[in-house]
Structure 1
Amino acid sequence: MTSAYDDKIWLDRYPDPSRHSIETEFETALEMFAATAQRVGDGPLIEYYDNAISARELDEMSDAFAAGILDAGFNAGERVVIYAQNIPQFVIAQLGTWKAGGIAVSANPMYRARELTEILWDSGATVLVSMQDLYRDVAALVVDATDVRTVITTSELEYQSANRGPLASATRIDCPDTVDMATMLQKYRGQSPPAPELNADSIAFLTYTSGTTGPPKGAMTTHRNVVFNAQTYRDWIGLDSSDVVLGVAPLFHITGLVGHIAVALLTGAPLVLMGRMDPTETLRTIEEHKATFTVGSITVFIALMNAPDVRPESLATLTKIYSGGAPIPPSTIRAFEDRFGHYIHNIYGLTETTSPSHGVPFGVRAPVDEATGATSVGVPVYNTVVRIVDESGQDVPPGEVGELVTAGPQVAAGYWNKPEATADGLPGGVLKTGDVGYMDADGWFYIVDRKKDQINASGYKVWPREVEDVLYEHPAVREAAVVGVPDEYRGETVKAFVSVRPGATATPEELIEHCKARMAAYKYPREVEIMDDIPKTATGKLLRRELRRT
Structure 2
Amino acid sequence: MQQPTTLIAHHARYRPEHPAVVFADGRQTRRLTWRLFHRRVNRLANALLALGIKQGDRVATVLPNSLELLEIYWAVPRIGAVLVPLSPLLNAAGLGSLLADAGAAALFIHPAAVAEVDGLGQALPALARERIVVVGEGDPSSAAPQDSGTFPGDHPAYAALTAAACEDEPAVPHPAGDDIFAIMYSSGTTGQPKGILQSHACRAAYCTLLASTWRMTPESVVLHSGGIVFNGALLTMFPAFYLGATYVLAGAFDAALAIDLIAQEKVTHTVVVPSQIVAILDHPDFAAEKLASIETFLSVGAPLLQERKQALNRLLPNRFYELYGLTEGFITVLDRSQSLRKPLSVGTPPQFYELRIVGEDGRDLPPGAVGEVVGKGPILMSGYYNRPELTAQTLKDGWLHTGDLGYRDEEGYLHLVDRKKDMIDSGGVKVYPKDIEEVAARHPAVREVAVFGIPHDKWGETPHAAIVLRQPAAASPTELRDWVNERVAAKYQRLHSVEIVPDFPRNAAGKTLKRTLRDPWWAGRERQI
TM-score class, shorter: 0.7 to 0.9
Q: 2:219 aligns with which of 221, 242, 246?
A: 242
Classify 1:486/1:74 alpha carbon distance in 2 versus 1 (closer, same or farther; 3 Å).
closer
Quote the residue 1:98 is aligned against: 77
SS in structure 1 at match of 2:328: helix
Query: 1:190 deviation in Å?
Result: 2.4
SS in structure 2 at match of 1:393: coil
Quote the residue 1:264 is aligned against: 240
Classify 1:396/1:241 alpha carbon distance in 2 versus 1 (closer, same or farther; 3 Å).
same
* Whole-angstrom CA distance in 1 between matches of 2:72 and 2:256: 28
Classify 1:213/1:235 alpha carbon distance in 2 versus 1 (closer, same or farther; 3 Å).
farther
Quote the residue 2:58 is aligned against: 79
Preserved CA contact (<8 Å) 1:63 1:96 = yes
The C-alpha deviation readout for 1:411-441, integer Å capped at 9, x for no partner, is: 1010111111111112233211111111101
* Whole-angstrom CA distance in 1 between matches of 2:40 and 2:518: 56
* Whole-angstrom CA distance in 2 between matches of 1:255 and 1:188: 32
Matched, 1:345 2:321: yes
SS in structure 1 at match of 2:373: strand
* Whole-angstrom CA distance in 1 between matches of 2:253 and 2:134: 21
Query: 1:451 deviation in Å?
Result: 4.8
Classify 1:341/1:189 alpha carbon distance in 2 versus 1 (closer, same or farther; 3 Å).
same
Query: 1:115 deviation in Å?
Result: 1.3
Quote the residue 2:368 is aligned against: 399
Q: 2:281 aligns with which of 277, 302, 305?
A: 305
Matched, 1:199 2:173: no
Quote the residue 2:146 is aligned against: none
Preserved CA contact (<8 Å) 1:51 1:160 = no
Preserved CA contact (<8 Å) 1:68 1:184 = yes
SS in structure 2 at match of 1:207: strand
Preserved CA contact (<8 Å) 2:319 2:336 = no
Query: 1:120 deviation in Å?
Result: 0.8
Q: 2:334 aligns with which of 346, 351, 360?
A: 360
Matched, 1:180 2:154: no
SS in structure 2 at match of 1:381: coil
* Whole-angstrom CA distance in 1 between matches of 2:121 and 2:411: 53
Matched, 1:442 2:411: yes
Quote the residue 1:31 is aligned against: 6
Preserved CA contact (<8 Å) 1:220 1:412 = yes
Quote the residue 1:112 is aligned against: 91
Amino acid at match of 2:2: E
Amino acid at match of 2:69: F
| Aligned Cα root-mean-square deviation (Å) | 3.3
Matched, 1:326 2:302: yes
Quote the residue 2:202 is aligned against: 225
Query: 1:172 deviation in Å?
Result: 8.4
Preserved CA contact (<8 Å) 1:329 1:375 = no
* Whole-angstrom CA distance in 1 between matches of 2:34 and 2:336: 28
* Whole-angstrom CA distance in 2 between matches of 1:79 and 1:308: 44
* Whole-angstrom CA distance in 1 between matches of 2:331 and 2:520: 36
The C-alpha deviation readout for 1:119-173, integer Å capped at 9, x for no partner, is: 111111111011222334x333336531212011122468899xxxxxxxxx989
Matched, 1:287 2:263: yes
* Whole-angstrom CA distance in 2 between matches of 1:483 and 1:392: 33
Q: 1:208 aligns with which of 147, 166, 185?
A: 185
Q: Which runs of 5 or more residues in structure 2 are unaligned?
A: 143-151, 425-451, 470-515
Matched, 1:142 2:125: no
Matched, 1:155 2:136: yes
Query: 1:524 deviation in Å?
Result: 9.5
Amino acid at match of 1:239: M
Classify 1:313/1:66 alpha carbon distance in 2 versus 1 (closer, same or farther; 3 Å).
same
Matched, 1:409 2:378: yes
Q: 1:385 aligns with which of 354, 368, 392?
A: 354
Stretch deviating more after TM superposition (33-42 or 413-422): 33-42
Classify 1:160/1:402 alpha carbon distance in 2 versus 1 (closer, same or farther; 3 Å).
farther
Alignment of structure 1 residues 428-507 onto 2, 5 Å: 428-453=397-422, 479=460, 485=466
Alignment length, in residue pairs? 436
Classify 1:321/1:412 alpha carbon distance in 2 versus 1 (closer, same or farther; 3 Å).
same
Classify 1:302/1:77 alpha carbon distance in 2 versus 1 (closer, same or farther; 3 Å).
same
Preserved CA contact (<8 Å) 2:80 2:181 = no
Query: 1:526 deviation in Å?
Result: 5.0
Quote the residue 2:483 is aligned against: none
Q: 2:23 aligns with which of 34, 37, 48?
A: 48
* Whole-angstrom CA distance in 1 between matches of 2:37 and 2:312: 36
Amino acid at match of 1:331: E
SS in structure 2 at match of 1:379: coil
Query: 1:281 deviation in Å?
Result: 1.4
Query: 1:285 deviation in Å?
Result: 1.4
Classify 1:184/1:42 alpha carbon distance in 2 versus 1 (closer, same or farther; 3 Å).
farther
Query: 1:340 deviation in Å?
Result: 4.3
Q: Which runs of 5 or more residues in structure 1 are unaligned?
A: 1-25, 162-170, 369-373, 456-463, 489-521, 530-541, 545-550
Query: 1:360 deviation in Å?
Result: 2.1
* Whole-angstrom CA distance in 2 between matches of 1:528 and 1:321: 26
Preserved CA contact (<8 Å) 1:413 1:429 = no
Classify 1:140/1:314 alpha carbon distance in 2 versus 1 (closer, same or farther; 3 Å).
farther
* Whole-angstrom CA distance in 2 between matches of 1:281 and 1:158: 22
Matched, 1:65 2:47: no
SS in structure 1 at match of 2:286: coil
Query: 1:57 deviation in Å?
Result: 1.5
Classify 1:265/1:343 alpha carbon distance in 2 versus 1 (closer, same or farther; 3 Å).
closer
Preserved CA contact (<8 Å) 2:59 2:76 = yes
Classify 1:44/1:144 alpha carbon distance in 2 versus 1 (closer, same or farther; 3 Å).
farther
* Whole-angstrom CA distance in 1 between matches of 2:161 and 2:240: 25
Classify 1:487/1:330 alpha carbon distance in 2 versus 1 (closer, same or farther; 3 Å).
farther
Classify 1:197/1:43 alpha carbon distance in 2 versus 1 (closer, same or farther; 3 Å).
closer
Amino acid at match of 1:448: V
Classify 1:158/1:296 alpha carbon distance in 2 versus 1 (closer, same or farther; 3 Å).
farther
Stretch deviating more after TM superposition (417-426 or 303-312): 303-312
Stretch deviating more after TM superposition (410-419 or 53-62): 53-62
Query: 1:313 deviation in Å?
Result: 2.2
Stretch deviating more after TM superposition (182-191 or 294-303): 182-191
Query: 1:346 deviation in Å?
Result: 1.0
SS in structure 1 at match of 2:351: coil
